[in-house]
Chain A
Amino acid sequence: MKHSISTAAAIGAGEKSGGRLSSSDILKYLPLAGLVMLVVFFQVTSGGRLLTAQNLKLVFVQSYALFLAAIAGAFVIATDNLDFSMGATLGFASACACFAAMVDVRLALPVAVAVGLVVGLANGVAHVVFRLPSFIVCLCMMFILTAATQTMTKGTSMMMPVSMMSFDNTLMKVAVFVVYLAFMLVLFEYTKVGKHLKAIGISPEAARQSGVDIGKMKIIAYMITGAAAGFAGFFTLIRSGAASPANGQTMTTDVIIAIVLGGMSISGGATSKISAALIGTLVITVLGNGMVLSGMGGDAQQLIKGIIFIAVVAVSARGNTSAIVK
């Protein structure tokens, strides 16, 4: 209902403005414009180092795990929920994968994804079947997994088998990413799963009355984020060579920041889009990379990060006021 109202309002606004860009159109393209401005700024301040082929490759590999996690994170956020256990799942899955790799390196990936899937299923079941608030469930899961990872790694970092270093191949990562993105995009935009998840985000009651199995859909959403966190955990492991309690520590907040920076409402709904995860992830990575290339001091780096995040979120929140209020 809200979707149709806002769509009608948007159409009306478009008609009134006579084909010119409305304020909602501007807000829609603001994250992308922000990313472009950021790239131009750092290209200039870094003396042209930012847009070199070598650095673009770096930006891609540095943002890889966040890309994987943020794209999946959009599925849960679309339902107006958050998965606070994503980072801990990533850390736990990478530790399990590291142990599995010590038995046979071929086990690392399936174990990481399976662990993530089971964690996601547990989150979904606890929330849906036992009717526990998703926030509490995920927070508790985060504590459990963090403790488990601490125990497994004995509080320090654990080296993966040296033979696994060859897995960290950029070409392979590109191929996997293309397939992953295509799959998630189709799932989110063109299948019942994606549409139902967005419908739940707009209005759970309306979705229920339209025949959407809310419980099942929510469990699926958590399983997707869990599996993706496990997948990202595997790639984090082969990139760093280490399973560590610190792996994924900032991932949960990074996913949320990326999605919001990318222009998606944290309350989900019809405006949810995969592109938000892509743009937001790039903003975070380019910001970190660009500041170092430009030789900015340590204090300045933290200050600028904070200011940019607040500014973008403030502007995005203003544009999405109607969607946030439920």
Chain B
Amino acid sequence: MRPVALTMGDPAGIGGEITLMTWRDHRRNLPAFVTFDDPDRLTRLAETTGITCRVQAINELSDAESVCPNALPVIPLSKTVNSLPGDDSTADGAMVIESIDRAIDAAADGSAAGMATNPIQKSRLYEAGFSSPGHTEYLGKRAGLSAPPIMLLAGPHLKVVPVTIHLSLKDAIAALTGDEIVRTLKTTIASMQTDFGIDRPRVAVSGLNPHAGESGHMGDEEIEIIRPAIEEASSADAELFGPLAGDTMFHAAARETYDVAVCMYHDQALIPMKTLDFDNGVNVSVGLPFVRTSPDHGTAYNIAGKAVANPVSLVSAIRMAAEIAHCRARTQDMDRGD
């Protein structure tokens, strides 16, 4: 079976230790995985944090499956990585980017089932030539997409897609066009079908304004932009409804009426996600030709190196990457009529 490829993430953050912990505590219940990192750094990190984890350098992704039960398989990066946990003074930006690039290559050429990325600190990468606002946009660029992939957050209680993500609220409102909402809805529907195996997904769409604008009393984006976009994206393959009030669409009974919620801006999507599924939310990049997931948290410098970080979101990300890859393969088989 093809492994899930992990990236190093910011070496001053918690990515290294949650990778070690994932191997130590969860490898028996996970598909094989491999990380693109500096094996010596990980060995040192295992020693200083006291996380029992054997690290083994490998050359080929195909070796990962046989190595993973006995040691954490690591494909070495071209240079050493010297950052220490919690200390962001060393610029290892080039290696952070190399790790992402090589995982993309592996996921794209099919030698990996997909990729799961550890968190990065974008501002630390800009000096190394990284010019995207985040992982997701960078992956879209690398995949040659004209528009960035869509971010789906998935947890045990909720799947949610923000139409706009990492923009100031003012810019987010400006970016909220009918075309963008339609694209997001269509991509989300396609992902529910191919990535999650839901034939006729039910999609709940939020409004932008409080109470979804209350018939235009509190903003007109619902009437002018969102409702027409929902109509345009409607098809027999899916059940779309909205615009709904952001504050009432997430309670337990409401969540039972849909498979995925599409929200207009970051906080509207992320607040319910973090509230309901803080520990095990997974970020899935939807609309890419390859599978990419990531844990739904940041670099957490403040606790890095202390072995107190919770690896469960990374564990969920690895599992979900493998499940989506499996689901995609099955869909492709069906499309070929096998």
**Is chain B found bound to chain A in the same assembly?**
no
Which B residues lie at the A interface, using CB under 8 A?
none
